[in-house]
Every structure is written in structure tokens, then in C-alpha cells.
């Protein structure tokens, strides 16, 4: 029977396998991961794509393929790519001076380079980048990428410095996975130098066993619930494994702790971080 769940799985297969050979037999659902979400009293989804074997493992498949949410600061990936490509950002060392507005996050209250702003997820820095890019140019790049277009064209209205935060555009977890997979392999329509810089600033951890690269996101749905993301890849022995974690919980939850803990618990369960993949 052709059910909505099966249709979502087919869409996911197409997204993941555009550059490789795989089929529905390569998708495994893993309900055992629910315990990590329950630990923090959140709902959500997780997907892991083993690129070498074209094997996809997912918790909550329907949410992964069929539910779209604001990208929040995961949009800094695209904002960085467009900024570098257009010259709005010269290099990852480019400084944008602090605007003098004191914000709750003290790390943002200073001059920042692009690299620092990316790792600190500094909203004001990237709001200024978006303003310098402008609505028309940013929209052309969103259209070119097909960004957040699964349920219709993602349109920027008048809020060039807020559209990724205010629920104007929404993206699915499988779209996020497709984006980072293409970025890793330099398959996005940007110069290789541009993609290299963004991949470099995404790297968060590196040691003899593994490299862990990701971008986080945190925003709020229209109903006030917190939405959190971590999108990226883990690399061992030069083999990449792409992942997307998306969680939803109460407005005042400790999102920073919950999302990273859930991600690392899941990856640990799957045997990562040992250099044996």
C-alpha cells in the first residue's frame, strides 16, 4: 500500500541517493533511540547516513521527512556560503564591529570574526551579513539551492535579518541532511574555496579518533515551543557519517545541554568516537 509514511521514505531515498545507489532496503528505523529524547522530556527525530554503505538509520521517520520547522541558526551555513561567494564576507577572519547593543549573551558583546561568530552562533553578526547581502541576492541563492522548498518556494518577505528565526521559512530534517551532504562533497553551487571555509568553521572537535563538524540552531515555534537542531557529520578514518538531530520541548528548556547530550549519546550507542568506523 502506498502510504504517506512510505511516500516520505521514497522522498528521503531520492534525497540521499541522488549521487549513489541505494533503495528502501537501506533504511533502518531505530525506536531504541527514544530513551534519549525521553531523558530530556522532548520529542524529535534523528537521522544518520552512512555514506560508504549508503545506509540510512532514522528515529521517527515521519517527522524526519514530513515535518518542517524554522532553521534558526543552522541557516548560518547558507548565510556564510552566500556571504563568502558574494564577497560580503572576505574571509573567515573578517571582523564586524560590535554595534554597542548589550545582549544577554555576553560573548556577542564584542567585535567578532566570522569564524568566532559562527562558533558562538552570534545572531547580530549574521543579521548584519544578511542585510549586506540584501533581499534580492539572498532570495536568488535560496531559489538556486532549492532551500527549504519541499513544501513550496521559501520566500523572504521584508525581514532580511529575521526570516530564518521568525518561522517565515521552514525546513525538514531530510532537507538539512541533503544540504550538509552536498556541502561535504563540494556539490553546492558555490566556489570550492567558499565551501572549504564553511566546512572548516563547522569543525567543532578533532582528535586522533574522529572529527566532529556541525552547526546548532535554536528557535521557537508559533506555539512558543523550543525547536533545536544539530546538523553535520562525524568522520572516522576518512569516512563521513552525516546526521541531523531535531528536537522540540518547552519554551524555557535547557536546549544547549539537551541537544548536544542527545546527539553524543546516540553516536556513542552506534560506536562512534573510537576511531573504529
Rounded Cα distance between 22 and 27, Å, is 9
Instruction: Note the Cα 172 to chain centre separation in Å.
Output: 10
**What's the helix, strand, coil split of the chain in %, to 5?**
40, 20, 35
Cell of 200: 572548516
What distance in Å separates the CA atoms of residue 147 and residue 171, rounded to the nearest whole number? 8
Provide the grid cell at 21: 545507489
Q: Can you read off the three cell numbers belonging to residue 40?
A: 530530556
Q: Does the annotation mark 80 as catalytic?
A: no
Set 32, 67, 73, 80: catalytic member = 73
Cβ atoms 214, 232 nearer than 8 A = yes
Contacts of 223 (CB under 8 A, 6+ apart): none
**How many residues belong to the chain?**
277
Distance between CA atoms of residues 144 and 248, nearest Å: 29
Q: 45: which 3 cell numbers?
A: 527525530
Write out the catalytic residue numbers.
73
Amino acid at each position: 500500500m502506498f502510504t504517506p509514511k512510505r511516500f516520505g521514505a521514497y522522498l528521503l531515498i531520492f534525497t540521499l541517493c541522488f549521487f549513489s545507489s541505494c533503495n528502501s532496503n537501506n533504511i533502518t528505523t531505530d525506536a531504541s533511540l527514544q530513551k534519549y529524547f525521553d531523558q530530556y522530556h522532548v520529542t524529535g527525530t534523528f537521522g544518520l547516513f552512512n555514506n560508504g554503505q549508503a545506509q540510512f538509520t532514522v528515529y521517527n521517520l515521519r517527522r524526519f521527512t514530513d515535518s518542517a520547522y524554522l532553521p534558526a541558526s543552522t541557516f548560518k551555513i547558507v548565510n556564510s556560503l552566500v556571504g563568502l561567494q558574494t564577497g560580503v564576507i572576505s574571509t573567515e577572519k573578517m571582523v564586524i564591529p560590535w554595534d554597542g547593543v548589550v545582549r544577554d549573551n555576553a560573548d556577542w558583546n564584542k567585535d567578532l570574526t566570522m569564524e568566532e561568530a559562527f562558533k558562538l552562533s552570534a545572531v547580530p553578526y549574521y543579521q548584519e551579513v544578511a542585510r549586506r547581502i540584501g533581499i534580492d541576492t539572498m532570495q536568488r541563492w535560496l531559489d538556486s539551492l532549492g532551500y527549504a522548498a519541499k513544501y513550496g518556494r521559501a520566500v523572504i518577505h521584508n525581514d532580511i535579518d529575521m526570516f530564518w528565526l521568525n518561522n517565515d521559512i521552514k525546513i525538514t530534517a531530510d532537507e538539512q541532511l541533503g544540504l550538509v551532504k552536498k556541502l561535504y562533497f563540494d556539490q553546492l553551487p558555490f566556489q570550492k574555496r567558499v565551501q572549504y571555509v564553511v566546512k572548516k568553521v563547522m569543525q567543532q572537535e578533532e582528535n586522533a579518533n574522529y572529527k566532529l563538524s556541525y552547526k546548532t540552531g535554536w528557535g521557537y515555534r508559533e506555539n512558543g515551543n523550543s525547536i533545536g537542531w544539530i546538523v553535520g557529520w562525524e568522520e572516522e578514518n576518512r569516512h563521513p557519517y552525516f546526521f541531523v538531530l531535531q528536537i522540540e520541548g518547552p519554551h524555557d528548556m535547557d536546549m544547549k545541554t539537551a541537544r548536544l547530550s542527545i546527539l553524543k549519546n546516540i553516536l556513542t550507542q552506534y560506536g562512534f568516537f573510537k576511531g573504529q568506523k
